[in-house]
Structure 1
Amino acid sequence: MLKGSLSHYSPLSQLMMSLLVVVGSFMLCMFAGSVLAYLIFDVNIFTDATSLDINGDSVNLSVLKFYQVIYSTGMFIIPPFIIAYFVHNKILSYLFLDKKSSASQYIFAILIIVVALPAINLLADINSHLQLPEFLSGVEEWMRNSEDQAEIITKKFLVMETPFDLLVNLILIAVIPALGEELLFRGVIQRIFSNMTKNVHWGIIITAFLFAALHMQFFGLLPRMAMGILFGYLLVWTKSLWVPILAHLINNGMAVCMSYFIYKGKLPEDIENFGGDNTSVWISGFISMILLSILLFSLYGSRERQNE
């Protein structure tokens, strides 16, 4: 019987197996997605690669968004369930999906994300001034080009004319990544590295770094890593993956909604950089950190009281 058959394997072996599952699932889903794209959109990426070129004149955003769903499903959503099947007898338990958290824990998660925004902007400001040594100038140029390319894609994805466009982007940018990335990183990888290092804190930090690095936006590494650490502790302290999933969804969803209302002229353009201007970034960042610390200690304290 294959279910739970790899539970006795070492964390390193489970990590290698997880990587194989992720790569295999990704390739199969992308192949199936290419077939579906041909049937639905009449687009054959094997003969017309320019159809996915974000800078091209003939780019089809609907096709790009379709492939984004396929990519996220194949890399993040399907693999954790396959991995859990092989290494544990209870899939939902392994992925921390079987426990319902209290309403107060969900409220804490929402407040933590909202309060953390200026602190995250402070880290983003610090990260944006990163300069590598002269002998790594080529690497720095590649990193900046990668960042610029990601920004172009994001801006084109976030053009929303109608409420339906907003709904599509909320599903694409908020719901699917929140579910998929938390399943893979916090549900699987964090557990493996915590077992490998025999230290839950190192497991959270290593996983947060990998989570940030995967986005391939190196001048946003620090804020994404900080968010990953927050999500990691939310899981450890609540024992439920639904809490970091909600926090992740709120974080991404706020960005999508702000972009929509800015585009519609309902919000000022500088609201996205709340606490991020040169005059207030440090003050608002430190205030945010103080309030965030209070919320985190309160959440930790509630966990301790529940354990007692």
Structure 2
Amino acid sequence: MLKGSLSHYSPLSQLMMSLLVVVGSFMLCMFAGSILAYLIFDVNIFTDTTSLDINGDAVNVSVLKFYQSVYSTGMFIIPPFIIAWLLNNRALNYLFLDRKFSTYQFLLASITIVIALPAINLLASINSHLQLPEFLSGVEQWMRHSEDQAAIITKKFLAMETPFDLFVNLILIAVIPALGEELLFRGVIQRIFSSMTKNVHWGIIITAFLFAALHMQFFGLLPRMAMGILFGYLLVWTKSLWVPILAHLINNGMAVCMSYFINKGKIPEDIEQFGGNHAGIWASGLISLSILALLLFRLYRLRERQSE
């Protein structure tokens, strides 16, 4: 019987097995997605590549969003449950999905994400000014090109006219990534690296780096890594994956909602850059970090009390 049969494997073997599961699930889901795209949208991606060309005039954003959901499901949501099933007799327990959590923890995590925004924007500003050595100029040009492509995709994805468009993007950009990325990175990979290094802090840091690197945006590496570290400690201190999932959801959901209301002229455009693009960048960032430290210390102390 396969359930829990790989629990005795070494952390490195578990990591390799996890990668195989992720790749296999991704390929199967993308194949199924190609068939569904043909049936639903009448688009054959093997013969009609222009429909997926983000720079082309014939790009079909609906198909791109569909493939984004298929990609996220196949790579992030399905694999963690398969991996957990193979590594543990209680898959939900392995993924920290059956752990009790308090409303107070949820509230603290929610406030933490909002308070962290100026600090994250400060890191993003610092990151945007980083330059690679001259001998890596070609790599830097490739990175900047990747950033430009990502910006184009984001802009087209976040073009929302109706409340239904907002709802679709909240599911696609907030709910699915928050659930999937936390399941895979914090639920599986962080546990494996913590076991491999025999140090929970290294497990969090390594996983946060991989989490940031996966987005293939060098000039957003620092803020994403910081967010990954924050999500990692939220899991360690609360023992429930639902807490970092909620925090991740709020972070992504705020970005989507702000974009929608900015496009509607309901809120000023520069609100997205709060703490990241004005004269008080360092002041707002440091104030944010100070309050964030107090909130995180409160969460840490709450964990200590629960363990007593």
Alpha-carbon distance, 1:123 to partner: 0.2
Q: Matched residues in 2 for 1:277 and 1:180: separation? A: 31
What is the one-letter code of the residue matched to 2:61?
L
Q: Matched residues in 1 for 2:45 and 2:130: separation? A: 37
Match of 1:212 in 2: 212
Match of 1:174 in 2: 174
Q: Return structure 1 stretches of 4+ with deviation > 3 angstroms.
A: none
What is the one-letter code of the residue matched to 1:243?
V
Pairing of 1:15-34 with structure 2 (within 5 A): 15-34=15-34
Match of 2:293 in 1: 293
Match of 2:132 in 1: 132
Match of 1:247 in 2: 247
Match of 2:55 in 1: 55
Q: CA RMSD in A?
A: 0.5
Deviations 1:160-202 (A, max 9, x none): 0000000000000000000000000000000000000000000
Alpha-carbon distance, 1:50 to partner: 1.4
Matching of residue 159 in structure 1 with residue 159 in structure 2: yes
Deviations 1:185-223 (A, max 9, x none): 000000000000000000000000000000011100000
Deviations 1:74-105 (A, max 9, x none): 00000000000100000100000001310000
Match of 1:304 in 2: 304
Q: Matched residues in 1 for 2:213 and 2:32: separation? A: 27
Alpha-carbon distance, 1:281 to partner: 0.8
SS at the partner of 2:143? helix
Q: Matched residues in 1 for 2:152 and 2:267: separation? A: 22
Match of 1:263 in 2: 263
Q: Matched residues in 2 for 1:11 and 1:277: separation? A: 43
Alpha-carbon distance, 1:49 to partner: 1.2
Q: Matched residues in 2 for 1:104 and 1:130: separation? A: 38
Deviations 1:246-268 (A, max 9, x none): 00000000000000000000000
Q: Matched residues in 1 for 2:121 and 2:277: separation? A: 9
What is the one-letter code of the residue matched to 2:264?
K
Length, aligned pairs only: 308
Deviations 1:101-157 (A, max 9, x none): 100000010011000000000000000001111111000000000000000000110
Q: Matched residues in 2 for 1:264 and 1:59: separation? A: 24
What is the one-letter code of the residue matched to 1:238?
T
Q: Matched residues in 2 for 1:134 and 1:7: separation? A: 47
Alpha-carbon distance, 1:276 to partner: 1.1
Q: Matched residues in 2 for 1:190 and 1:256: separation? A: 27
Q: Matched residues in 2 for 1:99 and 1:307: separation? A: 13
Q: After the TM superposition, which of the residue ranges 42-51 and 186-195 deviates more from structure 2?
A: 42-51
Q: Matched residues in 1 for 2:285 and 2:212: separation? A: 20
Pairing of 1:73-152 with structure 2 (within 5 A): 73-152=73-152
Deviations 1:42-97 (A, max 9, x none): 00001111110011111111000000000000000000000001000001000000
Q: Matched residues in 1 for 2:277 and 2:4: separation? A: 52
SS at the partner of 2:100? coil
Alpha-carbon distance, 1:278 to partner: 3.6
Q: Matched residues in 1 for 2:214 and 2:266: separation? A: 33
What is the one-letter code of the residue matched to 1:291?
I
Q: Matched residues in 1 for 2:132 and 2:100: separation? A: 45
Match of 1:234 in 2: 234
Q: Matched residues in 2 for 1:40 and 1:54: separation? A: 20
Gaps of 5+ in 1: none
Q: Matched residues in 2 for 1:281 and 1:18: separation? A: 41
SS at the partner of 2:132? coil
Match of 1:224 in 2: 224
SS at the partner of 2:80? helix
Q: Matched residues in 1 for 2:33 and 2:292: separation? A: 41
SS at the partner of 1:236? helix
What is the TM-score normalised by the length of structure 1?
A: 0.99
Q: Matched residues in 2 for 1:189 and 1:137: separation? A: 32
Matching of residue 273 in structure 1 with residue 273 in structure 2: yes
